[in-house]
Amino acid sequence: MPLGQRQGDKSESRYCGVESGFEPDMPRLLTRSLSSGFDFLLAPLVDPSYRPSSARAAGTESFALPVAASDLILSPSQWSSHVVGKVSAWIDLDSDDEKIRMDSEITLKQEIAWASHLSLQACVLPPPKSASCSNYARCVNQILQGLSNMQLWLRIPLEKTEPMDEESKVADHGGRTTDTWEWWNSFRLLCEHHTQLCVALDILSSLPSLYSLGRWFGEPVRAGILITDSFMTNARGYPCLSKRHQRLVSEFFDHSVQIVISGECRHNISQEVSNDNMHDSDNENYEGAIYKHPLRPYLDYVAYLYQKLDPIPEQERFEVGYRDFLQSPLQPLMDNLEAQTYETFEKDTVKYSQYQRAVSKALLDRVPDETASTTTTVLMVVGAGRGPLVRASLQAAEETGRKLKVYAVEKNPNAVITLHSLIKLEGWESLVTIVSSDMRCWNAPEKADILVSELLGSFGDNELSPECLDGAQRFLKPDGISIPSSYTSFIQPITASKLYNDVKTYKDIAHFETAYVVKLHRVARLAPPQPVFTFAHPNFSPKIDNQRYKKLQFQMPSDTGSALVHGFAGYFDAVLYKDVHLGIEPSTATPNMFSWFPIYFPLRKPIHVPVQSPLEVQFWRCCGPTKVWYEWCVTLPSPSPIHNSNGRSYWVGL
């Protein structure tokens, strides 16, 4: 039964599991766990005392693996919905002892084959015994090549303190901690980022530093195994977690990471007290007697944390389906948008009220109160679409008491039909002139005081706002105002293994040299964003050049450890007019605006950035006669190829 009802939460993390040891009476174990409120079992599939080398002697033809239970004892659907397999923990594929190594390899393959036979959704692999685990990785990699749908979750302790020799103990006053993320990183690099290779994190009483922890949110973490040792005890004797542990569990809930409770019961709570708690229906096991699961108090606490979460806001709920999903950026200049697309974007009231504020301020600056009744301001909306900026401008005029004449210039003939319909429905015939034309070639009958446009993409200039406005400013008065008046793009390095793998499925270089619009979610943001390109309008310089080049250096916080960079998240911020701005750069983002998701620039090969190393990145904006494109590369700590040379893979048509 899920941890609770949280509106809009359809994620896996509603389900909580419990780890168990080898148990030949699986039906009883499962019934007890499910009836105690757990949703699934993390359980060994095979008797841990089994060793192939000893079993072999008994004769192969009548040999059968000593499994906990067959698919006749539990049905395949029970197995696949309620059991995550646990590969025998004794295996050691990098042992110096060849017999152990051979036994380990055979067992690993047999257990995974059996788990596949049962159609399990996942199996947990025991943690590597040390950082050197290439033979383990090779064997897992072989298995992954032939695996149908099952995931393999490599178990990794979040923190690991190595036993120390006497000498260094004196120097360090304690154990030396190993960065276990490095274990995971080498393992997955050896397995070439296989999509079915994921992580299960063991959470102990001590947690690594904040930034170091943060890296995991860009990795395919599927489960957080809460060891009972990591719980504290509250005043009433119940288990509870430290603030930092609580925050981590909340983050897991938010990132579809399932919690598994594991270990001995460390808190002795009498059954009466426990009964007053949540989840106390269905508490019968299949023998009919009341059964109390020893780990139930921990589950209750985790459920309490889940139920304490704020409900998912409506906008967020709508966007859940877009999380970490690669979309091609719109090309509104080359393609005509559809009515539904216009309709969706028109609903962004925050955005249009910012525009209205900007136009109001510009009108007040341009026309003093004294001449308000006699002066008519000429305002041109370039790229009017179905008219939201026309509406915002007319509202600004009404609000400020200024007289306005509006030209609505639109190149999409279908949107023009809708604009005509709008003008008629609203009775704006005397205020608005519709122009069915591309702003870059329209011969305006008069010059404008204000030019209003909404041509910005997620990366600011990526929908060619600079080129369009350069073309349109021909009919702006020399002292005229452009809204927006300037905009800047930003980038930030991220770990994003899901996005990397999604790009990789296309099996070509072109997709690795393409920018995508993505609602970033399962990513680790490794350093604060930095500005890239800025454009200001109008730009009356004699020779306009919209090409740009920027070199940036990112420094990750010192306690991050090393990290893997899969690419860059891109954002923009725009000044509409004076202090009225609009943007998605995280530190200054306009609240509750939903028109733009970030943009993602991938790297063909993820870059490993060692501890304390700077990351140097270079971005170009290049312009040709028919298209504009970006090129990018990494130069430090090690050079990547230059991506998208000549815009061969990704470009925006003029």
**Would you call 295 exposed, middle or buried from its count of C-beta atoms within 10 A (0-12, 13-18, 19+)?**
buried
- Segment interacting with a copy of itself, rule: CB under 8 A, options 111-119, 391-399, 455-463, 628-636: 111-119
In the set 16, 29, 30, 67, which binds a copy of itself (CB under 8 A)?
Answer: 67
Helix axes 243-254, 296-308, angle to 10 degrees: 70
- 439 assigned to a ligand binding site: yes
Q: Is residue 331 a contact point for a copy of itself (CB under 8 A)?
A: no
In the set 80, 258, 285, 360, which binds a copy of itself (CB under 8 A)?
Answer: 80
State whether residue 51 is helix, strand or coil. Answer: coil
The distance in angstroms from the start CA to the end CA of the chain is 55
Give the tokens for residue 371. 């001449």
R_g over Cα of the chain: 30
Length of the chain: 654
What is the C-alpha to C-alpha distance for residues 393 and 407, in angstroms, rounded to an integer? 11
Contact by Cβ (8 Å): 500, 567: yes
Give the nearest distance from C-beta 423 to a copy of itself in angstroms.
10
Contact by Cβ (8 Å): 394, 465: no
In the set 93, 434, 439, 518, which binds a copy of itself (CB under 8 A)?
Answer: 434
Give the nearest distance from C-beta 632 to a copy of itself in angstroms.
29
- 504 assigned to a ligand binding site: no
In the set 188, 267, 357, 386, which binds a copy of itself (CB under 8 A)?
Answer: 386
Q: Is residue 336 a contact point for a copy of itself (CB under 8 A)?
A: yes
Tell me the C-alpha to C-alpha distance, in Å, between residue 409 and each of 381, 382, 441, 479, 481. 6, 5, 11, 21, 17
Cα atoms in the Cβ-side hemisphere of radius 13 Å centred on 558: 0
Q: Is residue 376 a contact point for a copy of itself (CB under 8 A)?
A: no
- 410 assigned to a ligand binding site: yes
Q: Which of 463, 467, 513, 631 is catalytic?
A: 463
Cα 480 to chain centroid, rounded: 42
Give the nearest distance from C-beta 416 to a copy of itself in angstroms.
5
Q: Which of 111, 159, 219, 454 is catalytic?
A: 454
Contact by Cβ (8 Å): 275, 32: no
What are residue 202's phi and psi, to 5 degrees?
-85, 125
In the set 283, 375, 436, 501, which binds a copy of itself (CB under 8 A)?
Answer: 436
Is 182 tagged catalytic? no
Q: Which is nearer to a copy of itself, 420 or 550 (CB)?
A: 420
Q: Is residue 107 a contact point for a copy of itself (CB under 8 A)?
A: no
Give the nearest distance from C-beta 406 to a copy of itself in angstroms.
14
Cα 421 to chain centroid, rounded: 40
Q: Are strands 151-157 and 122-125 parallel, antiparallel or unpaired?
A: parallel
Q: Is residue 42 a contact point for a copy of itself (CB under 8 A)?
A: no
Q: Is residue 640 a contact point for a copy of itself (CB under 8 A)?
A: no
Cis previous bond, 2, omega within 30: no
Give the nearest distance from C-beta 510 to a copy of itself in angstroms.
15
Q: Which is nearer to a copy of itself, 8 or 413 (CB)?
A: 413
Is 454 tagged catalytic? yes
- Segment interacting with a copy of itself, rule: CB under 8 A, options 66-74, 218-226, 322-330, 569-577: 66-74
Give the nearest distance from C-beta 84 to a copy of itself in angstroms.
16
Tell me the C-alpha to C-alpha distance, in Å, between residue 123 and each of 108, 164, 222, 239, 510. 11, 32, 11, 28, 34
Contact by Cβ (8 Å): 160, 178: yes
Q: Is residue 113 a contact point for a copy of itself (CB under 8 A)?
A: yes
Picking from 627, 614, 581, 609, the residue whose alpha carbon sits closest to that of residue 185 is 609
Q: Is residue 49 a contact point for a copy of itself (CB under 8 A)?
A: no
Q: Is residue 272 a contact point for a copy of itself (CB under 8 A)?
A: no
In the chain, count H helices and then E strands: 18, 28
Number of residues that bind a copy of itself (CB under 8 A): 50
Residue 642 is classified by DSSP as: P
Give the tokens for residue 617. 């990145």
In the set 343, 429, 446, 559, which binds a copy of itself (CB under 8 A)?
Answer: 343
- 352 assigned to a ligand binding site: yes
Binding mask 409-428 for a copy of itself (x = CB under 8 A): ---xxxxxxxxxxx--x---
Binding mask 134-173 for a copy of itself (x = CB under 8 A): --------------x-------------------------
Picking from 232, 228, 183, the residue whose alpha carbon sits closest to that of residue 203 is 228
Q: Is residue 119 a contact point for a copy of itself (CB under 8 A)?
A: yes
Give the nearest distance from C-beta 342 to a copy of itself in angstroms.
8
Just list the catalytic residues: 454, 463
Annotated binding site for S-adenosyl-L-methionine: which residue ranges? 342, 351-352, 410, 438-439
* Residues near a copy of itself, by CB under 8 A: 60-65, 67, 69-73, 75-77, 79-80, 110, 113-114, 116-119, 148, 336, 338-340, 342-343, 386, 412-422, 425, 433-437, 442
